[in-house]
Every structure is written in C-alpha cells, then in structure tokens.
Amino acid sequence: MRDGNIRRRRHTVIAQLEDRPGALNRIVSRCRQRGFDIESLVVGRSETPGLLRMTLVVDGGIDAEQVVRQLGKLVDVLDIRDVSDEDTLVREMALIKVRWDADRRTHITEVVRAFRARIVDVSPASVIVEVTGDEGKVDALVRLLQDYGVIEMVRTGRLAMLRGPAPSHPPLEQLEEAYEYCPVPQPR
C-alpha cells in the first residue's frame, strides 16, 4: 500500500493448510480477532492433493511472528512461516479491462507489448489485458492504461515462493510424523 509516495513495509507469510470446509474462514476470523490488517490473501491448490497453499500479506506494523504463532495454532494450518526477509520470488497477476477503439488500438497494443503483458479478450469497445509480474510492474501498467480508460480491474494479490531447490514447506510425511497428524483426506 502507499501513503502518498511512500511504500510501507509489508510482511509476506506462506502457509500450507488442509483443504477442508471452514479452514479459510478460521484463518480470516483469527486475523480479525487479533486485529491483523490483511492486505492480500491468495489461496489455491498445492502440489499435494488435499492441501492448500496460502500467501498472506499483512501490514508491516504488525509483528509477523505473532501472525505466524496465532495462525499456527489453528488445526487446519500444517506449516506456516514469514518469508519477508528470505530470498523469495513474488508475483501478482491482474486482468485489466480498457476502453478500445480505432484511435487507441495501436497505442494500447504497444504499451501491452512493452510490459510483456497479453491481450486475452477483444470486443468492439473494450480489451482485457493480462499481466503477471512484481507489484511495481503491475502498478506501472495500470497507471499507463488509466490514460486510455480503465473500465475495471481485478488483481490476485501477492503469490510467493522461496527460491532454490528446497521446498517452502516440509513434505507431508514429515509433518504427519512431527505432529502425530492424521493423514489428510484425499479429494473424492
């Protein structure tokens, strides 16, 4: 987030959690109860069936260790860590719908190409642009496209993964042994 032109520090927390009803609700409820300001929350399937991967971004004024401790107490959370100061690859994705007419086509296409973004849908009056990159790249493209008339936009928020060959979380077998955890139910 920005206050004027000053970018505030934020903490990026990644977690592995069970894919079961109410898991995400319990995480958000705990954040609300503790007053953790969630700036973005991205949850999706992981490489392990039955497990989800979560990337949570909270305001830098919050003690990240407290976030990790509080969310780590939840039964659905198998592993959680603050990766803010680690060597991490961070990306966001956005879909941006822009006004599109004969006068703007060439300019919009050049801007999209310069950002290595893609035009993924075209209609007579609008175009949808898809961009993936770090937060600065997405912000810069959105700012440039504002001049052409952004109709609407949706953004994923931050996705994060540790660089290098080691996984961000221990294998499920290690988690089960460490916590005497019941195996994760497989999807039906």
Q: 76-86, pLDDT tens digit by residue?
A: 999 999 999 99
Mean predicted confidence (pLDDT) in 40-63: 91
Which residue, among 43, 47, 73, 67, has the nearest Cα to 184 in the 3D structure? 47
All structural domains of the chain, each given as residue ranges with its CATH number in brackets, are 11-86 (3.30.70.260), 89-160 (3.30.70.1150)
CB 139 within 8 Å of CB 150: no
Q: Tokens 């860590």 label which residue?
A: 81
pLDDT band for position 61 (cuts 50, 70, 90): confident
- Scored b (16 or more CB within 10 A) or e, 31-50 reads beeeebebbbbbbeebebee
The length of the chain is: 188
Q: pLDDT value at position 185?
A: 53
Separation between Cα atoms, residue 94 and residue 35, nearest integer Å: 28
Q: 25-42, pLDDT tens digit by residue?
A: 999 999 999 999 899 999
Q: What is the pTM assigned to this prediction?
A: 0.78
CA-to-CA separations, 139 to 2, 56, 75, 94, 133, in angstroms, rounded: 11, 19, 36, 10, 10
Separation between Cα atoms, residue 155 and residue 169, nearest integer Å: 25
Mean predicted confidence (pLDDT) in 130-150: 97
